[in-house]
Amino acid sequence: MEKYALLMPPDLAAEVAGLDGVTEIRLRVGRPMSVAVFGAYRHIGRTVTSADIDRVLALATDHSVYASDATLAQGYLTCDGGIRIGVCGECVYKNGRLAAYRKISSLCMRVPHEVEFSDARLESLLGDFGNTLIVSPPGRGKTTLLRYMIKRMSEKGRNVLAIDERNELSASVDGIATADLGPNTDIVLYAGKTAGYAEAVRAMRPDLIATDELFGKEEVACIADAVRCGVGVMATVHADSAVKVLENEIYGALGRVMRYYVLLEGLGRIAMIYDKERENCIR
């Protein structure tokens, strides 16, 4: 049985058993379960109850939901196997800061996949590597591709540092990665990107730094600073197109440091790779 199914009520788990390409499961109190298969959503199963939500949270936290308040305050939980569960509910503030969620009413369970990409365009990029930004809307496999590229560059002898802010890249258990990120990869778990970049460049002397889901001006600045220090970068960002990234007031700064822009059309499927250095798409 898939690891995500072990977190679910048995009858709801049975509804998704046998489905290939499950990338996301959404549980909303008072609504049927929503399942994304290769990025396309469908509603299946009975109406979700508060007891279902409580069961998932209890199993995901080893029956210690309150002990996970620090993570929940950021709106998610991470479970063994790299499964990330986003949460929505009633916010609890302490001293003006979000401290926890209570009366949780919906969950978004993101299911990781390991995919072997067979694409000549990607092989060309990996053979003549340059700083790379993976671009797509949510649910099309950015993290999956980033994980694959980390492994491949590590196998090529590069020292890769993965800043794994939410334990989705490495799926670590007790500090040990369960996802294969290659023989020359070091992992920083649960560190914010800004702290991770600053400390890692000095302490670990990586050839490449990889991180998922860039967000905001400070993280973009960290990318630029790593490149200034002579470190290569691989990263992902939510967007519909590379043009929208480059035209954005914040993310446009990435245009000065990124060579390749990889656009995804679905899990394991690359729509386009643009090489800015040669001003063309890789064929």
pLDDT of residue 62: 81
Task: Indicate whether 67 pLDDT > 60.
Answer: no
pLDDT in tens, 135-184: 998 878 899 999 999 999 999 999 999 999 888 888 887 788 888 999 99
Task: Indicate whether 13 pLDDT > 60.
Answer: yes
Residue 245 phi/psi, 5-degree rounding, is -65, -50
Query: At the topology level of CATH, where does 3-110 sit?
Result: Beta-Lactamase (3.30.450)
CA distance 122 to 127: 9
Q: What is the pTM for the complete model shown?
A: 0.80
100 contacts: CB under 8 Å, gap ≥ 6: 69, 72, 73, 91, 92
pLDDT in tens, 72-81: 777 888 777 7
Tell me the average pLDDT across 26-39.
92
pLDDT in tens, 209-245: 999 989 899 999 988 888 988 999 999 999 988 888 8
Task: State the span(s) of the chain assigned CATH 3.30.450.
Answer: 3-110
Task: State the span(s) of the chain assigned CATH 3.40.50.300.
Answer: 120-281
- Quick check: 84 and 138 in contact, CB under 8 A? no
Question: Of 33-42, 59-68, 86-95, 140-149, which gets the smallest average pLDDT?
Answer: 59-68
Correct CATH for 120-281 of 3.40.50.300, 3.30.530.20, 3.40.50.410, 3.40.140.10: 3.40.50.300
Residue 146 token pair: 């980033």
pLDDT of residue 1: 59
Tell me the average pLDDT across 51-79.
79
Question: Helices 120-127 and 142-155 meet at what angle, rounded to 10?
Answer: 50
Mind giving me the DSSP string for 106-125? Answer: EEEEEPP-------HHHHHH
pLDDT of residue 91: 85
